[in-house]
Amino acid sequence: MELIRVDTKHAYKILREKITSLELKPGQALDIGRLANQLEIAQTSVKEALRLLAHDHLVEAPPRGLYVAELHLDDLKKISGIRLRLETYSAQEAAQHRTPDDLVILTSLCEKKAEDTRELFELDHKFHQAIAQAAHNNYLANTLEHFYGLSKRLWYLALPYLDFLPTAVESHIKLVEAIEEKEGEAAGEIMHTHISDFYQKIKRIITERDLMGSAG
């Protein structure tokens, strides 16, 4: 992002957050002029930020106009399938390559208490990022970051009906223990269960409550 303009970066950050937290709804039309006025940022930069978001698959650019990318039930399956495998791999690699500094960071993240759901999201995100860092493979970290962004929208969709987060935090602690002991296989398994439990619950909520409408 070094060669990207200051205001573009700023617009990108704000818009990405608005899209992934569903403040901008899937399928919603994006009016560059109006967004630029709202954010008090030059139009060129808003346009450029939306182009970057299209590259992230969070914005769609059909021949006419710009829209927040649609969200389908299908996406849940596709995204979870990839994340399940990559996060598992990430945990295995982390157990192999973690440094003492990585362990301090992971432990510190486990000890933190979130004050609200948004902070809990942040914390979970940070935790998964830290594991990818501990794997010391920047390609893996970048790819995971991309899928995390896509996944976050599904999470937000189910958010009002979620009540299982404390158990997720518990599995974080076990995971760090396995990574510390360099038990790659165990770490992979814990992560696998952690992620697949999560998506199953999300899927149940979304389908039971028909959160994506009949179109989903």
Partner 1 sequence: MERVTLNANNESQKKEPLVLGIDTGGTYTDGVLLEYNTHKILATHKSLTTKRDFAIGIENVIAEIDIEDPSAIQMVSVSTTLATNAIAEGKGKRVALFLIGYDPDLIDSFQLSDRFATPNFHYISGGHDLHGHEKEELDLSGLLSKVDEIKRRVDAIAISSYFSPRNPEHEIRAQKAVSSVCELPIVLGHQLSTKLGSVERATTAALNASLLAVLQEFIIAVRRAMEHRGIEAPLMVVRGDGTLMNDEFAARTPVETIHSGPAASAIGGRFLSQKQNALVIDVGGTTTDFALIQDGKVTISEKGATAAGYQTAVKAADLLSIGLGGDSYITTDRKNEIVIGPERVVPLAYLSHQYPNVKQRLQALTKRSWPAPSPAELEYWFLQREIEDESGFSNREMDLIHLLESGPKPVKKLLEKMDVLDQSQLNIQDLWREEILGKSGFTPTDILHIEGLHTPWDMEASQASLTVFCNYLSMEKEAFLKFIWDEIAKKIASAVVHFLTEKKIPGDEVENENLGKWFLTNSLFPHHPHLETSIQLRDSIVGIGAPAQVMIQQAADILNTELILPDHYAVANATGAVAGSVMVTEEVLIYPHLSGDKVDVIGYYVQSREERSEYEALESALENAKQQGEEKARSAALRSGADNPQVVVDVHQEGMDTYRITAKAVGKPRLEV
Where along the sequence are the contacts to partner 1 (CB under 8 A)?
A: 2-3, 5-7, 10, 40-45, 101, 104-105, 107-109, 112, 122, 126, 129-130, 133
Nearest to 31 by CA among 2, 71, 73, 59: 59
Provide the minimum distance between the beta carbon of 129 and partner 1 in the complex, in angstroms, as a whole number: 7
Cβ-based nearer residue to partner 1, 13 or 204: 13
| Residue-wise burial string across 179-205, b where 16 or more C-beta atoms lie within 10 A, e elsewhere | bbeeebebbbbbbbebbeebbebbbeb
Cβ-based nearer residue to partner 1, 3 or 215: 3
Cβ-based nearer residue to partner 1, 105 or 195: 105
Provide the minimum distance between the beta carbon of 38 and partner 1 in the complex, in angstroms, as a whole number: 12
Cβ-based nearer residue to partner 1, 138 or 200: 138
- Can you tell me the distance from the alpha carbon of 70 to that of 159, in angstroms, rounded to the nearest whole number? 18
Provide the minimum distance between the beta carbon of 6 and partner 1 in the complex, in angstroms, as a whole number: 5
Provide the minimum distance between the beta carbon of 101 and partner 1 in the complex, in angstroms, as a whole number: 6
Cβ-based nearer residue to partner 1, 76 or 130: 130
Token digits of residue 164: 């299982």
Residue 61 burial (C-beta neighbours within 10 Å; 0-12, 13-18, 19+): middle
Provide the minimum distance between the beta carbon of 154 and partner 1 in the complex, in angstroms, as a whole number: 22
Cβ-based nearer residue to partner 1, 10 or 18: 10
Token digits of residue 152: 């976050």
Neighbours of 40 (CB within 10 A): 7
Long-range contacts of 211-215 (CB under 8 A, 24+ apart): 211/157, 211/158, 212/71, 212/72, 212/73, 212/157, 215/72
Q: In which residue are the tokens 């982390």 written?
A: 94
Provide the minimum distance between the beta carbon of 104 and partner 1 in the complex, in angstroms, as a whole number: 5
